[in-house]
Structure 1
Amino acid sequence: MDFIVSGATDIGNVKKTNQDSYNVKVISTPMGKMVFAIVCDGMGGLSMGELASATVVHDFNQWVFNRLPLITAEKKISERTIREDWENLIIASNEKISAFGKQQGFAIGTTLTAMLLTQDSLYIVNVGDTRAYQLTDKIVRLTDDQTLVAKEVRDGKITEEEAEADTRRAVLLQGIGVTPHLYPQFFSGSVVKDAVYMLCTDGFRHVVKENEIFAALNPTKMVNAADMTANIKGLINLNKQRQERDNITCAAIRTF
């Protein structure tokens, strides 16, 4: 299996700084090509959310550079190994960002969605309301939002439609740097050929529907890096035309 990757971020219409951070890369390993992708949405005063999101992206990139080669050199990778590594990494990042925020006198934090695609498996970790999707002949969300309104939807207290218009939709239940005891969500499964895997911040999908995302980013439209970038930027511009107020970020992987 091979991969094409792309991504884009935009400050949006309102904010003075872009507090989103992301990275997506193809990696050559003894077990074949892999892809690592990460998207973080920072929050905090005095633009410090940008520092929080960039810190988590940096910490995970260090794992890719330093730890992943050791795992793949043994030609053996497991969900347990990935889960334990990522959980320890998130705990360390949480403590570091929380301590820095306390030194500055205000809370800063970030959401996280990270994904590792191997030749046959995928691994995802999620904290907050950044999301991962799989697009084949349909669009499927792979993560659950850790937000107050999402929990109320799951509990049957409100509907999906009510959640979209709820003024509390940005209230997070989990955030790296702002939650003392984190409970990251982990997901694993099989990688599908001729599919698109997409990670995004909430600013990318507040005012754009999932059917619109599918129409622009489905595998028939994402055939090379140039098209992928153009399609992602097209949706970013659509968000801005519809007066999205947040930063807007998306990273995508095409399998073939």
Structure 2
Amino acid sequence: MDFTASYNTDIGIKKNTNQDSLAVRIIDTPTGKAAFAIICDGMGGLAKGELASKEVIFAFCEWFDKIFVRDACKGTFTMRGLHEDWDRIIQIMNQRLGNYGAENNLMLGTTVSAILIYKNEYYIVHVGDSRIYELTNEFKKLTKDQTFVAREVAMGRMTEEQAKVDPRRSVLLQCVGASSVVQPDFIKGEVKDNAVYLLCSDGFRHQISEEEIMDKLGPDATSSSEELQYGCVYLTELVKNRKETDNISVVVVKTF
């Protein structure tokens, strides 16, 4: 299995700083190709949300470049080890950002959604309300929003349509840096051939439909990295034209 990838991030039409951060890696190892993508949506006063998201991105990329590459080359990669590594990163960053906030009398934090694709499996770690989708002949959400409204929908106290317009739709149940305890979701699944794995901040998805995403970034619409890039930029501009006020970020990895 091989991969191609693209991404786009935009400050949007209203905010003074882009507090989203992202990264993507594709490498060839002796035990097979691997792809890693991550997106973080920071929050906090001034540029502190940007600091939070960038710090978490850096920590995960350092893990990938050093620990994962080492384990893949030696053939010692395990899912248990992966979960332990990812949970340790999140707990360390939660404490570090929390301490920084306490010392500087401010609140800062970030969502994190990351996917590792390796040996025909995908592994996801998720905190907050950024999302990861799988686009094949259908549009499938792989992550669950850790938000107030998502919890209300799950408990039958709110409909999906009500949740979309509720003013509390961005209230997070937890995030890295601003929660006393962080319990990330870990998800595993089988990677599909000719699929697109899409990671996005909430600003990317509020103003567009699943059909519009599939039309520009679905597997039938994207046979090259150039077409992936075009789709990312096109949809970002569409979201801005519809007056989305948040930062807008998307990462896509296609399998073939």
TM-score bucket (shorter structure): over 0.9
- Residue 188 of structure 1 and its aligned partner are, at CA, apart by 0.3
Q: Distance in 1 between matches of 2:235 and 2:197?
A: 16
State the match for 2:19 in structure 1: 19
Q: Distance in 1 between matches of 2:248 and 2:69?
A: 32
Instruction: Please give the per-residue CA displacement for 1:60-115, whole angstroms capped at 9, x wherever unaligned.
Output: 00001111122112324322111111001100011111111111111100000000
State the match for 1:161 in structure 2: 161
Matching residue's letter, 2:195: A
Q: Distance in 2 between matches of 1:161 and 1:211?
A: 17
Is the counterpart of residue 222 in structure 1 residue 235 in structure 2?
no
Is the counterpart of residue 186 in structure 1 residue 180 in structure 2?
no
Q: CA RMSD in A?
A: 0.8
Matching residue's letter, 1:48: K
State the match for 1:98 in structure 2: 98
Does structure 1 conserve the Cα–Cα contact (< 8 Å) formed by 2:97 and 2:177? yes
State the match for 1:241 in structure 2: 241
Q: Distance in 2 between matches of 1:195 and 1:202?
A: 22
State the match for 1:147 in structure 2: 147
Instruction: Please give the per-residue CA displacement for 1:5-50, whole angstroms capped at 9, x wherever unaligned.
Output: 1001000010000000000110121211100100000000011100
Q: Distance in 2 between matches of 1:182 and 1:124?
A: 16
Does structure 1 conserve the Cα–Cα contact (< 8 Å) formed by 2:127 and 2:185? yes
Q: Distance in 2 between matches of 1:232 and 1:63?
A: 27
Q: Distance in 2 between matches of 1:31 and 1:179?
A: 38
Matching residue's letter, 2:98: S
State the match for 2:200 in structure 1: 200
Does structure 1 conserve the Cα–Cα contact (< 8 Å) formed by 2:115 and 2:125? yes
Residue identity over aligned pairs, in percent, reads 43
User: 1:52-91 residue pairs with structure 2 within 5 A?
Assistant: 52-91=52-91
Instruction: Please give the per-residue CA displacement for 1:202-239, whole angstroms capped at 9, x wherever unaligned.
Output: 00001112222112111011111111001011000010
Q: Which moved more, 1:124-133 or 1:100-109?
A: 100-109
Does structure 2 conserve the Cα–Cα contact (< 8 Å) formed by 1:79 and 1:188? no
Q: SS of the residue aligned with 1:183? A: coil
Q: Distance in 2 between matches of 1:231 and 1:210?
A: 13
Q: SS of the residue aligned with 2:250? A: strand
Number of equivalent positions: 256
Does structure 2 conserve the Cα–Cα contact (< 8 Å) formed by 1:196 and 1:219? yes
State the match for 1:135 in structure 2: 135
Matching residue's letter, 1:173: L
Q: Distance in 1 between matches of 2:96 and 2:141?
A: 30
Q: Distance in 1 between matches of 2:138 and 2:77?
A: 29
State the match for 1:51 in structure 2: 51
Q: Which runs of 5+ in 1 are unaligned?
A: none
State the match for 2:126 in structure 1: 126
User: After the TM superposition, which segments of 4 or more aligned residues of structure 1 sit over 6 Å from their partners?
Assistant: none
State the match for 1:210 in structure 2: 210
Q: Distance in 2 between matches of 1:160 and 1:76?
A: 43
Q: Which runs of 5+ in 2 are unaligned?
A: none
State the match for 1:176 in structure 2: 176
State the match for 1:8 in structure 2: 8
Q: Which moved more, 1:24-33 or 1:229-238?
A: 24-33
Q: Which moved more, 1:13-22 or 1:26-35?
A: 26-35
TM-score by length of 2: 0.98
Q: Distance in 2 between matches of 1:82 and 1:4?
A: 23
Q: Distance in 2 between matches of 1:213 and 1:161?
A: 19
Matching residue's letter, 2:167: T
